[in-house]
Amino acid sequence: MPNILTTIQKSYQQYCSTHTNIYIACSGGRDSMALLYACFLLKLPISVLHINHKIQAISDEWQTLVENFCQKNQIPYQGICIDWKNTDISKINENQARNARYQAFCQMIPPHAIIATAHHANDQAETILMNLFHGAGMAGLSGMREFGEQSAFDKPFYLWRPLLPITREQISEFVRYYSLDFVDDPTNIGENNDRAWLRQNILPLINNKFNKSIENIVRSSQNIADSQTILYEIYQQGLKKCAFPQRLNSEKRLNIEQLQLLSRERLLQFLYFWLKDNQTFAPNRQTIEQIYQLIFTKNTEQKTIIEWQGVQIRRYQQILYRLEHGYVAECETLIGAKSLQNGDFRQVLPNEKFKLLAKNHHQSFKKICQEQHIPVWERPFIRIFGRNKAMIMIDKCLLLKGFYEDNCF
């Protein structure tokens, strides 16, 4: 009997032992039925999630198999049938099905739950090769992680893949040993998509030529993942030197003078982690190169906007800004709260000049903003309190002539 039980037990103790429920994503195929039965034998605290995609003729057969197994073994079960509405089912691709599946998962689980999937070593090898052929960096060549935090449809959760060290052949041996029922996925046979083509045509040739090629590819990916972890730790150390204190949840700022001290290679890697942050997909090389050029431009009033996955990268003077989707709403909320607290606020008038408390002459609003390092896109949120008593900004208050209190909040 393959060592699947020991592998799952060890992974569970390492990642999941503090959780009271593990949601097994079970399609009814060989791999997920093996994972489900192994967790059942180990008496882990599990319940089952099944998504009926309604794409194939055997979709209902899968659902029935999983339902009957759970009922027989008294395992909690939740299932959802996806309604594609007016979509032509024959044209639904792999990504659309995956998105629909995770949207359904997120409807059935609480925040920060653990979803266990049956990805195995062969899946990992296929993923790494696919990423390699698409020009991936270290993150892509690291493949799938055994355990990691994810977020989809505004729902944070954890993905647990305890079978990643196990090959497809070992799973098949486990299924035969316990005489498990399962339904074959016809999309795994043939060459209808790139992954299936790779599985049918390329991997058999590699396996015949190189002994234990799947295990070796997986081992190499783990080495790359370890290197990626080290690079991330170096990034975190650099971030302490380069980052300004965070003012808003939707804004991050970097000191350009500190960034310019880094070597080109280190800066590109630094920008990769900074831009990726909590986004699902990694930034491409072209986007990172554009930010690199923005950092070294001689025009410190640069108005270039680099957009990527709902994030804006902008520069003002010697500060690099990362503005996320909720930036404008957060600024409006912040200024609105200050207005309610103090009352008697107004916007800055066109061509208006002010006299700061510490100065003897009037200055234009633009000049004051430049001296205070206030970028152009932030200036519309500035308010004037009372009769020219104070200028209220996102993170500061400038006292104007006639205002003699220590602060204005």
Q: Per residue of the chain (409 residues), give pLDDT as tens.
A: 458 999 999 999 999 988 889 999 999 999 999 999 999 999 999 999 998 877 776 778 889 999 999 999 999 999 888 877 777 666 667 777 778 888 888 888 999 999 999 999 999 999 999 999 988 888 889 999 999 888 777 788 999 999 999 999 999 999 999 999 998 866 554 455 788 889 889 999 998 999 899 999 999 999 999 999 999 999 999 999 999 999 898 999 999 999 999 999 999 999 999 998 877 778 889 999 999 999 999 876 668 899 988 899 999 999 999 998 889 988 888 877 766 665 677 888 888 888 887 788 888 889 988 888 899 999 998 888 877 778 888 877 888 764 333 333 3
Domains of the chain (ranges; CATH) run 4-222 (3.40.50.620), 243-323 (3.30.465.60), 338-399 (no CATH)
pLDDT in the model for residue 80: 86
Residue 127: name the closest of 39, 208, 224, 40 by CA.
Answer: 224
Crossing angle between the packed helical segments 30-41 and 4-15, to the nearest 10 degrees: 70
Residue 202: name the closest of 127, 94, 126, 141 by CA.
Answer: 126
Q: How far is CA 323 from CA 118, 378, 383, in A?
A: 37, 11, 21
376 phi, psi to nearest 5 deg:
-60, -40
Amino acid at 129: L
Tokens representing 55 are 């794409």
What is the CB neighbour count within 10 angstroms for residue 323?
Answer: 24
Angle at 392 between CA 390 and CA 395, to 5 degrees: 135
pLDDT in the model for residue 189: 47
**What are residue 397's DSSP bridge partners?**
392
pLDDT in the model for residue 338: 67
For 155, left (φ over 0), alpha (ψ -120 to 50), or beta? beta
**Cα(272)–Cα(295) distance, integer angstroms:** 14
Q: Is 351 helix (H, G, I), strand (E, B) or coil?
A: coil
**Cα(257)–Cα(244) distance, integer angstroms:** 12
pLDDT in the model for residue 84: 75
- How long, in residues, is the chain? 409
